[in-house]
Structure formats: structure tokens, C-alpha cells
Amino acid sequence: MSLRILEKRSPTQPSTSEGSSNDMNGTALRAQKVLAVLYSGGKYGARNPRMLGTTEQALGLGDYLKSKGHTLVVTDDKEGADSTFQKEIVDADILITTPFHPGYATRDVISKAKNLKLCITAGVGSDHIDLNAANERKITVAEVSGSNVVSVAEHVVMTMLCLVRNFVPAHEQIRAGDWNVAKVAQDAYDIEGKVIGTIGAGRIGQRVLRRLQPFDPKQLYYYDYTELPNEIAKDIKVERITDLKEFLGKLDILTINCPLHEQTKGMINKETIGWMKKGSWIVNTARGAICDADAIAEAVNSGHLLGYGGDVWPVQPAPANMPWRTMAHPNSEGDKFNVGSAMTPHYSGTTLDAQKRYADGTKTILENYLNHKPQDPQNLICEGGDYATKAYGAGKRA
């Protein structure tokens, strides 16, 4: 656990600091309490100032907030009623958290957080917040849209290559001093000539498709309730399928790139996996809970899926006994070098390049809020009691 309080004020005590934020009429905004739930960087966070997403570097916000007379509380301790998160949220005005180590703002947490006005996702994906509860309280939810979409798209293509070429067991064989070409070649294929589809063709989905095109896939498809403009679809050479069963049935490789919300939770389950071809692969870097955890493990363990990979888990950090840690295709034959899994901790969107972008973006959202300036519309998920985006299954504008 890491907790740092830069300046402690009563939440109702007005700021007298010279640098405090003013509204457009020059009225001082009272000192705000900002609670940031971030992953601990340990020695890596302490020694590398570019690890901006860690508790140690606190998104580079410490000096800025202090100079404006606000309080910043930073923690990675987020689980359970006695956690720092649960204790500090009760009088926090602003919650900042990352999807990599999310402080889950459930309905219960939101009801306890009497002062909460703004939730900022330092990154992309705000499903850790009960968005309906936030709307009922007119809490603004903003994320740093686009900040790590390239980082994720690269990870998707890498994971696809790892699975399709059976890279992980091959590499581990070498580390162990073994050499058995046939054992790894029996599950190794090319991406060329495969049928690949994305659920969600937004910022990440489109970037994945563009990066796959040079591999000469047989066909690219997308499944999304938002239709791509014709010129983009033509440019990426992707076709839309609106029926999920038909879409999944065509694919050799599925990549999931939509947000987690009521309509996508558990979308990939025993029934829908059954619509996929035997020997197909799934890459999920969107959110773990879009897939039914047991159904995925069963499909890999039985050999229906040749592999599943990604970096997102239904609960993060993932418990030690989570079945995705150990699932293995039957061709693993009990070997410790499992065929069929290319799982990592949630890190695809937190490369050092991405950390810079989402830290800068978080500061901009904060500055806008503290100075009563409008937010960039593309960053808004909820505002004024309603959804500000269509991406979470509801709302007014794309």
C-alpha cells in the first residue's frame, strides 16, 4: 500500500492559497480532495519517472494540485471495506483511477461518496464505474479517449501472432533446454489466409484491422451496432455482419474491442463459443467480463478453441486460482509449456508511451474542471445525468 497526502484540508474549507482555481467570475473553487487509485510501481515506479501511472509518480499531478491548494490522496489499497479507497472516497470530490488497477466505483461506493462530482479514467474504459449510478448523481465521468489505442492495437496483433504461431510454448521450450520442432509445429499456422473479425470497430478495432491488412488475411469482418462510414470500411477492406451467430461462425480469429457494459457482459459464453469453428482463436484486450471465464477455460481445455489470449481479467488483480492462468489445450499433454494461452497482466494500454499520453490527458481534464472550462466532448462518457457517448450501449451522440 502506498498513501501520500500532499496537503490535508477539510473538504468544506475554502482554499486561501494564491494559486487556487477560479471560476469564470473569479469565484474561488473550494479546495478539492482528489483521490487517485493507481497501481503500485514499487522499485520500478520509484526509480523510473516515466512510470507515470504508478502510485509513486501519481500521474505527475502532485506538484500541480499542491500549487493550486488542493489535496491529493494516492493509494493502491482498494479491496474491502477497510481499504484506503473505501475510507478516503467518502469525502473525495474527484476520483482518478486506471483500468489497470481499478478502484471499483460501485453503486454502493458512489452512494457513500457524498462530494463526488468527477470520475476520471486515466486511460480508456470506464466500466469500473457504475455509470447508471453516476448518472443518477449527475457525476461527470471522463476518460482520456485515444490515449492508448495504438498501444492496445499493437498488443492485439502481437497476441494473435503469439497464439497462431504457437510462440509461447516454443520460446519456453528453448528456455528449458529442450528442442522439439514437431511438438510446437503441430499447432503453428500463418495469419495469412485467415478470416478475422472484431467485435467493436471503434478506435482500437479499426487500428487492429489496419495493422492486420498487410498480413493478407482472407477476409476481415466487424460486428458493431455503429456502422463504419463507407470510405473507412472500403479503405480497411472490412465487411460488416450484423448477426452475431453468422459473424462468429465465419471466423478463424476473433478480436474483442468493445467496451464492457450491460449488453456486452458475458457476450462470449458457452453458447456463442459453440458458434465458433473448432480450432479458432480469441484475443480479448477489451475487458475480461465480456467473456464468461469458465466457458473460455472449458473451450481451451477441451480443444474447441486452439487458444485464448489477452491482458484483461474479470477481476483485477486476477486471483491466483483464476482458470485463465492455467488453462491448456489438450496438445499441451500436461506439459508445463501450455499450448492455447497468451495471457498477461493488464498492461497493453500502459506502455511508457501510453502513460505519458494518459497522464497529460488526465491533467487536462482536471484543469478544465477546476477552471470551469468545457471538456473535450470525445472524453466524456457521462455528463449532466446522461450518457454522452453511444459506445456504452446507450446515449445521445457517438
- Cβ closer to ligand NAI: 191 or 268? 268
**Residue 391, interface with ligand NAI (CB under 6 A)?**
yes
Residue 353 marked ligand-binding: no
Tell me the closest approach of the beta carbon of residue 309 to ligand NAI, in angstroms: 12
Tell me the closest approach of the beta carbon of residue 344 to ligand NAI, in angstroms: 10
Q: How far is CA 118 from the centre of its chain?
A: 19
Tell me the closest approach of the beta carbon of residue 200 to ligand NAI, in angstroms: 3
Residue 254 grid coordinates: 476473433
User: How many residues in total does the chain contain?
Assistant: 398
Q: Nearest Cα to 109, choosing from 90, 125, 127, 92?
A: 90
- Cβ closer to ligand NAI: 152 or 370? 152
Among this protein's residues, is 287 annotated catalytic? yes
**Residue 38, interface with ligand NAI (CB under 6 A)?**
no
Residue 124 marked ligand-binding: yes
Residue from 84, 257, 272, 316 touching ligand NAI (CB under 6 A): that is 257
Helix ranges (DSSP H) in the chain: 42-47, 62-67, 84-88, 107-112, 131-136, 149-164, 167-175, 181-185, 203-212, 230-236, 244-250, 270-274, 293-302, 352-370
Q: In Å, how far are 3, 112, 135, 329 from 116, measured between CA atoms?
A: 20, 9, 12, 46
Piece of 132-140, 177-185, 253-261, 333-341 that binds ligand NAI (CB under 6 A): 253-261
**Residue 259, interface with ligand NAI (CB under 6 A)?**
yes
Residues in Cβ contact with 139 at an 8 Å cutoff, skipping those fewer than 6 apart: 110, 116, 117, 118, 119, 382
Residue 330 marked ligand-binding: no
DSSP codes of every residue in 102-164? ---B-HHHHHH-TT--EEEESSS--TTB-HHHHHHTT-EEEE-TTTTHHHHHHHHHHHHHHHH
Helix ranges (DSSP H) in 14-113: 42-47, 62-67, 84-88, 107-112
| Site size toward ligand NAI, by CB under 6 A | 33
Residue 372 grid coordinates: 470551469
Site track for ligand NAI across 309-348, x = CB under 6 A: --xx---------------------------------x-x
Among this protein's residues, is 206 annotated catalytic? no
Whole-number Å distance between alpha carbons of 82 and 65: 26
**Residue 242, interface with ligand NAI (CB under 6 A)?**
no
Catalytic one among 32, 57, 257, 316? 316
Q: Phi and psi (nearest 5°) for 253?
A: -135, 130
Site track for ligand NAI across 191-210, x = CB under 6 A: --------xxxxxxx-----
Cβ-closest residue to ligand NAI? Answer: 202
Residue from 36, 74, 149, 365 touching ligand NAI (CB under 6 A): that is 149
Residues in Cβ contact with 82 at an 8 Å cutoff, skipping those fewer than 6 apart: none
In 10 A of CB 25, how many CB atoms? 6
Tell me the closest approach of the beta carbon of residue 29 to ligand NAI, in angstroms: 30
> SS3 for 7?
coil
Piece of 26-34, 51-59, 65-73, 282-290 that binds ligand NAI (CB under 6 A): 282-290
Among this protein's residues, is 219 annotated catalytic? no
Binding site for ligand NAI (CB under 6 A): 123-125, 148-149, 152, 199-205, 223-226, 257-260, 263-264, 285-287, 311-312, 346, 348-349, 391, 393
Annotated binding site for substrate: 124, 148
> What are the catalytic residues?
148, 287, 316, 346
Binding residues for NAD(+): 203-204, 224, 259-263, 285, 311, 346-349
